[in-house]
Amino acid sequence: MLKSILFVLIFSFFMATIIGPFFIPFLHRLKFGQAIREEGPQSHRKKSGTPTMGGIIFITSIVVILLVAVLFTKYTGMTNELMMLLLTLVGFGLIGFIDDFIIVVRKNNEGLKPKQKLLAQLVLAAVFFYLFLKSGYSTELSFFNLFSVNLHWLYGLFILFWMVGFSNAVNLTDGLDGLCGGVSVITFGAFGMIAVAMQQPSIALFCFAVVGALFGFLVFNLNPAKVFMGDTGSLALGAAIAAVSILLKQELLLVIIGLVYVIETLSVIIQVAYYKRTKKRLFKMAPIHHHFELCGWSEWKVVIFLWSVTLVCAAIGLVIAI
């Protein structure tokens, strides 16, 4: 398995770094630049026009390398797990692509209507649940390997909530150069190691293909970013990591390892609820990474801090799981 992991890790990285220099100028020629929201930090205005839809770079790398791995390595074929993960990645990536396309064509920051996006996400999550059941998976929800509870049909509702929730949580985290990419490298890397320990080669290969491709993407996404992943990338990553946690039956472990995603989401929920009640803001701006910026932290300092938090959470998660 180690050779296959190294193969997908290294070659997905190189593929992303090769695709980037060709794809980014193409986005520039099409004028597919990000529209920066008016209410965002003033320091972000200079980023207006930076190409978005960069998620295509790492999604393409992941899919191509994994298909090559299926054909040329002896450790995995196109297993049910790998098929479900690829369908999730590409399906949610397509929703994000449509959203990004509407944004850049209309030159606004609205995109798909919330109800349209939610419906599409729910449909894909329902398809995942159908394949999940067809593959013979248990509907038990594991509580950190201590005990589990069989939710029966309610597990389907849990999957809908989990995949849609984390898809949008990762989307909210994608607000600073390199932030979402770095956090996701650590998160997928941790679950990849858990998959290895659990002897789940297909899931491990998927996770490390994502890690390699994201490292390649970060070459172009670190501050100052030459390209943003957009909803194309963030929605795909969020749904994919939720799917990984479900297939490994380590669902709730994602709350620990992906704590930054959770905090980013909670900061928005709390901010909205607090404002509706008091007409005041609890944070200077939400998601919380913007609060840190407006407190005087540099963008790079915020990113490094949240990467560090994720590293600590990943270490805790690994101790619990392995």
Q: 290-299: which pairs have CB atoms within 8 A and are 24 or more residues apart?
A: 290/40, 290/41, 290/175, 291/267, 293/41, 293/43, 293/176, 294/41, 299/43, 299/176, 299/177, 299/223
Q: For 226, which DSSP code?
A: S
pLDDT of residue 205: 95
Burial 105-138 (b: 16+ CB within 10 A, else e): eeeeeebbeeeebeebbeebbeebbebbeeeebe
Q: Report residue 41's pLDDT band, with 50, 70 and 90 as the boundaries.
A: low
Kindly tell me if the per-residue pLDDT of 228 is higher than 80: yes
Please tell me the distance from the alpha carbon of residue 241 to that of residue 223, in angstroms, as a whole number: 25
Kindly tell me if the per-residue pLDDT of 38 is higher than 60: no
Rounded mean pLDDT, 222-247: 96
- Model pLDDT for residues 153-183, shown as the tens digit of each residue: 999 999 999 999 999 999 999 999 999 999 9
Rounded mean pLDDT, 67-88: 87
> Bigger pLDDT: 1 or 46?
1
pLDDT of residue 45: 63
pTM of the model: 0.95
Highest mean pLDDT among 33-42, 45-54, 101-110, 177-186: 177-186
